[in-house]
Amino acid sequence: MKSKSKKKSRTRLLHQYYSYTGFYSFVGRSLKKAALPIILIIVALFLVNKYVFTIDDGLELLTESFSRTGVLITFFISETLLGLIPPEIFIGWSKKTDDPILNLSILATLSYTGGIISFFIGKAALRIASVKNYLEVKMAKHLKNTSKWGGFLIIIGALLPVPFSITCMAAGMIKYPFKGVVLYGLFRFARFALYAWAIFKVVT
């Protein structure tokens, strides 16, 4: 009974902490910010698919124009350096390959690995004064949020359209425990699975 009450009290304290520090409102704002780009992308894809060329044709062109190795390297660089290209494009590409599940698994692993490397980039940046000062200015908000919410912010970065690599880099800069990044970052695989479930239904 005592352990249950302790668990409940700890959960209640965490809930109060995340309420006071604005974690829930941050998640809400992130979802709202993500909603508009997603809607715009869906509308754009619908219009392109209807009036320009089909999504299948575009992904077919991507598959034929670039080697598998080239696509994977490009994706890995993007996922390591601030997530410059939306992962959804590569998830759609994986569906057009001969072995979609294998390539999707590779993409998820590369994304996860890119986040881990970003963590070490963040740690290494602390040793170079000019880079440290630059990143502290550019990533001030992310650093502050990571300091407050730690693991939960990494989970949000792994699951939602919040740049995962930036979150991991911020974790490295505040010297967040590496094992926490490794553990919470595993939610990245869940995101790829969920997105693939939706995208694979659209791409034939």
pLDDT over threshold 90, residue 12: no
pLDDT over threshold 70, residue 3: no
Beta strands in 43-148 (DSSP E): none
Would you place residue 178 in the very low, low, confident or very high pLDDT band (cuts 50, 70, 90)?
very high
For the ranges 36-50, 77-91, 167-181, the lowest mean pLDDT is seen at 36-50
In-domain check, residue 15: no
Phi-psi category of 22—alpha, beta or left, where left has phi over 0 and alpha has psi -120 to 50? left
Would you place residue 109 in the very low, low, confident or very high pLDDT band (cuts 50, 70, 90)?
very high
For the ranges 75-79, 104-108, 133-137, 153-157, the lowest mean pLDDT is seen at 133-137
In-domain check, residue 2: no
In-domain check, residue 48: yes
Distance CA 154, CA 47 (A): 34
pTM, 2 dp: 0.77
CA-based torsion, 163, 168, 174, 177: positive or negative: positive
pLDDT of residue 54: 59
Question: Which domain range does residue 145 map to?
Answer: 21-202
pLDDT over threshold 90, residue 199: no
Distance CA 117, CA 163 (A): 14
pLDDT of residue 61: 65
Answer with the residue of higher pLDDT: 179 or 148: 179
In-domain check, residue 13: no
For the ranges 19-28, 54-63, 183-192, the lowest mean pLDDT is seen at 54-63
Q: Give the count of domains, the chain.
A: 1
Report which secondary-structure segment, H or E, holds 22: none
The model's pLDDT over 124-155, given as tens digits with 9 standing for 90+, comes to 888 887 777 777 777 777 777 777 787 888 88
pLDDT of residue 35: 65
In-domain check, residue 3: no
Cβ contacts of 124 within 8 Å, gap of 6 or more = 172
For residues 168 and 125, the answer to whether their CB atoms sit within 8 Å is: no
pLDDT over threshold 80, residue 51: no
pLDDT over threshold 70, residue 5: no
Task: Supply the mean pLDDT for the chain.
Answer: 79
Structure-block tokens of residue 8: 């409940």
In-domain check, residue 134: yes
pLDDT of residue 22: 74
Q: How many CB atoms lie within 10 A of CB 18?
A: 17
In-domain check, residue 155: yes
Mean pLDDT of the region 30-59: 64
For residues 18 and 24, the answer to whether their CB atoms sit within 8 Å is: yes
In-domain check, residue 79: yes
